[in-house]
Amino acid sequence: MPLALGADFWAKKPYQNWSKEETNRMLEESPWATTLTLGSIQTKITGLDATNGQGYGGEMETNPTITYNFQFRSAEPIREAQVRSSQLNSHYESMSAQQKAAFDTNAGKFLAAKFSDRVVVSVTFSTNVQNYEGLLRTYWRRQSVATIGVWVYLNAGKERLSLLDYSCKENTFQFVFPRPKQIGLDGKLGVEFIHPRINAIGSQRILQEFSLKKMLFNGEPAF
């Protein structure tokens, strides 16, 4: 069956042929990944840090921002993009045959992982204010299923699925949810959590939605 005109790159060619720009697009802004930016106009250069009650200063950004990048790590196209990114960063084309074989073996094991009973979503944060990064790391590293399970959900049609597992490493935290039992292609998957107050950027509910119709991969919804 011929590909439709204008089909996206992941439908046109295997991941081994994705360019660096295409790989980054898959990981940053695609049906399986997106980036959300929170901001607040900074009205004071110094003030009180609501996170720990201490004074803070030096925030010269007139518009401090915090960015969250969402990725469905259990979705095959995201995992293919992770492998391709590793290929590009390790100069795969310049490797010896033996090195390529070892790389391919590891990549094959990574891509063969099955997620028949769970959905894995990673969220990576960044900010344009230096001390915000430390506050975010401290906050998310302290969390557990027990502390955030009451306000972290995967919304899938009529189902509101609770958190099964949580972990955080460096600037990325990861949610694990049970896989939805039934959801139509016209539905959406929504990742829901609460962003904490970080100085000028207030606490707020985040609900990032993804269209299942756009998440088709090899003819099936991939998540």
Distance, CA of 209 to CA of 206 (rounded, Å): 10
pLDDT at residue 49 greater than cutoff 60:
no
CA pair distance 146, 31, nearest whole angstrom: 30
Joined tokens for residue 122: 């990673």
The most distant pair of C-alpha atoms in the chain lies apart, rounded to whole Å, by: 63
What is the SS3 assignment for 145?
A: helix
What are the backbone dihedrals phi and psi of residue 202, each rounded to the nearest 5 degrees, phi first?
-75, 165
Mean pLDDT across the stretch 28-32?
A: 94
Q: Are strands 55-56 and 47-48 parallel, antiparallel or unpaired?
A: antiparallel
The pLDDT tens digits for 121-165 are: 999 999 999 899 999 999 999 999 999 999 999 999 888 999 999
pLDDT in the model for residue 154:
96
Mean pLDDT of all residues in the chain?
A: 85
pLDDT of residue 42: 47
Q: Phi and psi dihedrals of 216, rounded to 5?
A: -70, 135
Question: What pLDDT is stored for residue 41 in this prediction?
Answer: 53
Amino acid 127: pLDDT: 95
